[in-house]
Amino acid sequence: MAVKVLVVDDSGFFRRRVSEILSADPQIQVVGTATNGREAIDQALALKPDVITMDYEMPLMDGITAVRNIMQRCPTPVLMFSSLTHEGARVTLDALDAGAVDYLPKNFEDISRNPEKVRQLLCEKVHTIARSNRRYASFLSAPAPASAPPSPAAAAAPRHAPAAPQAAAPQASTPKRKPYRLVAIGTSTGGPVALQRVLTQLPANFPAPLVLIQHMPAAFTKAFAERLDKLCRISVKEAEDGDLLRPGLALLAPGGKQMMVDGRGVVRILPGDERLNYKPCVDVTFGSAAKAYGDKVLAVVLTGMGADGREGARMLKQSGSQVWAQDEASCVIYGMPMAIAKAGLADAVYSLDDIGRHLGEACA
**Residue ranges per structural domain of the chain:** 3-141, 152-362
* SS3 state at 127: helix
* SS3 state at 186: strand
308 in active site:
yes
Catalytic residue, chosen from 243, 308, 327, 347, is 308
pLDDT at 109: 60
Are 37 and 85 in contact by the 8 Å Cβ rule? The answer is: no
The yes-or-no answer to whether 3-141 and 152-362 have a common fold is yes
pLDDT at 152: 36
Fold of 152-362: Rossmann fold (3.40.50)
- pTM, rounded to two decimals: 0.87
* SS3 state at 302: coil
pLDDT at 115: 75
* SS3 state at 318: helix
Are 182 and 209 in contact by the 8 Å Cβ rule? The answer is: yes
358 in active site:
no
DSSP of 238-250, one letter per residue? E--TTPBP-TTEE
Fold of 3-141: Rossmann fold (3.40.50)
Catalytic residue, chosen from 55, 215, 354, 358, is 215
d(CA 34, CA 40): 5
In angstroms, what CA-CA distances link 87 with 90, 148, 164, 215, 246?
5, 21, 41, 19, 30
* SS3 state at 316: helix
pLDDT at 234: 98
pLDDT at 1: 86
pLDDT at 119: 87
* SS3 state at 41: helix
Catalytic residue, chosen from 50, 55, 132, 188, is 188
86 in active site:
no
Question: For the chain, how big is the Rg over CA atoms in Å?
Answer: 20
pLDDT at 111: 59
- Averaged pLDDT, groups of 10, the chain, 364 residues long: 95 93 96 97 97 94 95 94 84 94 78 75 92 55 43 35 42 77 97 96 97 94 97 98 98 97 97 85 98 97 96 98 96 96 97 96 87
